[in-house]
């Protein structure tokens, strides 16, 4: 499959759905980042590319960035979105997921789902004839990772050979950073407290991708070891949505994993600080770091819009 964004500025992806980071090929992921840059530079050029296309947004969890950027993305491309919040319930509680999917496919051209359980995403994709996009699950956050690597590409140019250090919980964000980074040639180091390592199956998939791309992956319990030589230091909240009951215990376990000025200084002099937001300032990151010139957290947030525009163009055109 050709991946030249010059000959074919909108590369149609081979997959019908994006349930995990692995549903896009390496070539498609690279083409998406190139398209995101084009969309960001020349938004008017794409303003009517998805006229008459509509998204259903199904959200089991609260959202600021994901909801706003998907709604704005489809609107700025000429289409529209319908939002459904489940207010503490799960997709499938009121009626079977297969019925939800087959109703929606009659009305919209794509489904964006933000769920507690990856199985919900998989079940929607199993039954839907229109694309299903994972906007966050317990295992993956692929749209966030695409925006993150687009941000890294903007800041440093070539991705291959960069090092990203993730400090904190081996969660859905860490999983997507490992998978996407490994196949794009970015070295990824993850530092977690004992017992909070990434999912072994996800890690094995990332290691296979790294072997093919030449990237290196490293797991450690020492945050200073992880950030050594890093171009980017990334963290996330210690207790994700749905883990509120664990918050007190997690604060104790993660106390030594805060991204402070001292930890950031152990990375490269030009290192940037990244966070998917929302941030708990004073917990996983100090206020001084998130407000420092090294912080690109709002660039990441902006780039959710551009990366998701590129994704919608590739999946819905």
Catalytic position from the list 276, 300, 306, 308: 276
* Catalytic residue check, 144: yes
Catalytic: which of 53, 183, 304, 306?
Answer: 304
Among the options 53, 65, 67, 114, which is catalytic? 114
3-state secondary structure (DSSP) of residue 106? coil
CA distance 218 to 189: 5
- The closest of 217, 189, 159 to 26, measured between CA atoms, is 159
143 is catalytic: no
CA distances 199 to 74, 149, 205, 216, 241, Å, are 33, 21, 10, 17, 18
φ/ψ of 179, rounded to 5, equals: -65, -45
256 labelled catalytic: no
Q: Out of 21, 122, 148, 236, which one is annotated catalytic?
A: 236
**Active-site residue, 276 included:** yes
Cα-to-chain-centroid distance, residue 130: 21
Kindly write down the DSSP assignment for every residue of 161-219, as one continuous string: T-EEEEES---HHHHHHHHHHHHTT-EEEEE--TT-PPPHHHHHHHHHHHHHHT--EEE
Catalytic, 169? Answer no
**The token pair that represents 140 in the structure block:** 């993956």
First to last CA, the chain: 17
Please tell me which residue in 144, 153, 258, 300 is annotated as part of the active site: 144
Known catalytic membership, residue 118: no
- The two structure tokens encoding residue 304: 């959710």
> How many whole angstroms separate alpha carbon 111 and alpha carbon 175?
22
Per the residue annotation, which of 53, 67, 141, 275 is the catalytic one? 141
- Catalytic residue positions, numbered: 114, 141, 144, 236, 276, 304
């Amino acid at each position: 499959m050709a991946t030249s964004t010059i000959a074919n500025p909108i590369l149609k992806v081979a997959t019908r759905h994006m349930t995990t980071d692995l549903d896009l090929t390496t070539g498609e992921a690279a083409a998406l980042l190139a398209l995101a840059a084009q969309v960001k530079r020349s938004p008017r050029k794409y303003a009517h590319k998805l006229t008459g296309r509509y998204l259903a947004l199904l959200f089991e969890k609260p959202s600021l960035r994901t909801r706003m950027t998907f709604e704005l993305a489809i609107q700025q491309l000429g289409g529209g979105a319908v939002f459904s919040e489940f207010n503490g319930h799960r997709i499938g509680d009121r009626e079977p997921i297969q019925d939800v999917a087959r109703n929606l496919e009659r009305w919209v051209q794509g489904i964006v789902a933000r769920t507690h359980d990856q199985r919900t995403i998989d079940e929607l994709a199993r039954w839907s004839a229109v694309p299903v996009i994972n906007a966050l699950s317990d295992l993956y956050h692929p749209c966030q990772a695409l925006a993150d690597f687009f941000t890294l590409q903007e800041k440093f140019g070539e991705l291959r050979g960069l090092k990203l250090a993730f400090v904190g919980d081996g969660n859905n964000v860490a999983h997507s950073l490992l998978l996407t980074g490994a196949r794009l040639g970015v070295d990824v180091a993850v530092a977690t407290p004992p017992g909070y390592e990434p999912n072994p199956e996800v890690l094995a998939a990332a290691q296979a991708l790294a072997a093919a791309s030449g990237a290196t992956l490293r797991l450690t319990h020492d945050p200073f070891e992880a950030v050594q030589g890093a171009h980017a230091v990334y963290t996330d909240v210690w207790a994700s949505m749905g883990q509120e009951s664990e918050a007190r215990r997690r604060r104790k376990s993660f106390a030594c994993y805060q991204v402070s000025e001292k930890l950031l200084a152990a990375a490269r002099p030009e290192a940037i600080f990244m966070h998917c937001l929302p941030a708990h300032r004073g917990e996983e990151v100090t206020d001084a770091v998130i407000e420092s010139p090294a912080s690109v957290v709002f660039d990441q947030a902006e780039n959710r819009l551009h990366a998701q525009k590129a994704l919608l163009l590739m999946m819905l055109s």
